[in-house]
Amino acid sequence: MRRDTFLKSLAALAATGALPMSAWASSNLKMMIPANPGGGWDTTGRALGKAMIDSGAAATVSYENKGGAAGTIGLAQFVNSTKGDGNSLMVMGAVMLGGIITGKPPVQLSQATPIARLSSEYNVFVLPANSPFKTMQDVVAQLKKDPGSVKWGGGSRGSTEHIAAAMLAREVGVDPAKINYVAFRGGGEATAAILGGNVSVGGSGLSEFAEYIKAGKMRAVAVTSEKRLPGQDIPTMKEMGYNVVIGNWRGVFGANGITPEQRKVLTDAIVTATKHKSWAEAIERNGWTPAVLTGPAFDKFVDDEFASLRAIMAKSGMI
């Protein structure tokens, strides 16, 4: 049977509910994680892969980490090596959009296929346990005095924590171009720098810092949400008088040039995985907010996010 005929048959069976769970996706799925191990994209990709296996949406999932440049190095490899491959997925999110806007890479996200948004969370800013600063107000006071003396550590340039730092600088009358931002290729590297006291302030999703905050190795001083996060005693930027509200989200894209049938099979597999208890456990464990979105609604969401981030970054002097 020809492959396209087979895929059409799978889609038809899925629509009638007659499709065996093990046939919803390739038995050998490949997952590109465009970041080094230990960060949010890595955690998301591996949690999703586990849920796909546990739910029967895939028999096996292999992973490849390729970090750097807000995920655009991994994006380039993914685009150039997987064309038409219905068995490949790439983890991505708001950080990649910011990196594309600032870095202008040779490949674009439009060269891959939108599949699904998975989760969302807000950025938390933390201080090393031995920091001379105690609050975000202390950080701001030093930022006003000598912008270059405050070393911000986080994900790639254009990441949501980078944008938040630039937004804060503009809010307090500091030229965003003068902030001293140190970009890392993955959350693991950023965490190590914060724990080692090699940066003044660290930013990322709460899930990446939660265990260190709980253990007293980091001090959480601000979150970029509209309101305080449930169960967390972390003040928002807004309640401190800084109009800095920005969210992060993560999702997955498929390869360039896949057929509508291949896209549907991948989408159905992702939806099946996100309904499994394995994914629910990952959501709870990491403090993510479930935010599954697929199809045309996800396509529009990505386009709107590009426009929104570009406007925020322009206003904050980043582009």
Give one DSSP letter per residue of the chain, joined into a string.
Answer: --HHHHHHHHHHHHHHT-S-GGGSS-SEEEEEE-S-TTSHHHHHHHHHHHHHHHHTS-SEEEEEE---GGGHHHHHHHHHH-TT-TTEEEEEEHHHHHHHHHH--SS-GGGSEEEEEEEEEEEEEEEETT-S--SHHHHHHHHHH-GGGSEEEESSTTSHHHHHHHHHHHHTT--GGG-EEEE-SSHHHHHHHHHTT-SSEEEEEHHHHHHHHHTTSEEEEEE-SSSPPTT----BTGGGT-----EEEEEEEE-TT--HHHHHHHHHHHHHHHTSHHHHHHHHHHTPEEEEEEHHHHHHHHHHHHHHHHHHHHHTT--
Give the pLDDT confidence of 269-282 residue by residue, as tens digits.
999 999 999 999 99
Position 35, amino acid: A
Instruction: Name the DSSP letter for residue 244.
Output: -
For all residues of the chain together, what is the average pLDDT?
91
User: What is the pTM for the complete model shown?
Assistant: 0.83
Phi, psi of 8 (to 5 degrees): -65, -35
Give the pLDDT confidence of 201-240 residue by residue, as tens digits.
999 999 889 999 999 999 999 999 999 998 899 999 999 9
319 residues of the chain, pLDDT tens digit each: 444 444 444 444 444 343 444 444 447 999 999 999 988 999 999 999 999 999 999 999 999 999 989 999 999 999 999 999 999 999 999 999 999 999 989 999 999 999 999 999 999 999 999 999 999 999 999 999 999 999 999 988 889 999 999 999 999 999 999 999 999 877 788 899 999 999 999 999 998 899 999 999 999 999 999 999 988 999 999 999 999 999 999 999 999 999 999 999 999 999 999 999 999 999 999 889 999 999 999 999 999 999 999 999 998 888 8
Give the pLDDT confidence of 42-76 residue by residue, as tens digits.
999 999 999 999 999 999 999 999 998 999 999 99
Sign of CA dihedral 171, 175, 179, 183: positive
What's the CA gap between 319 and 306, in Å, rounded? 13
Distances (CA, A) of 287 to 60, 211, 229, 259: 26, 11, 10, 35
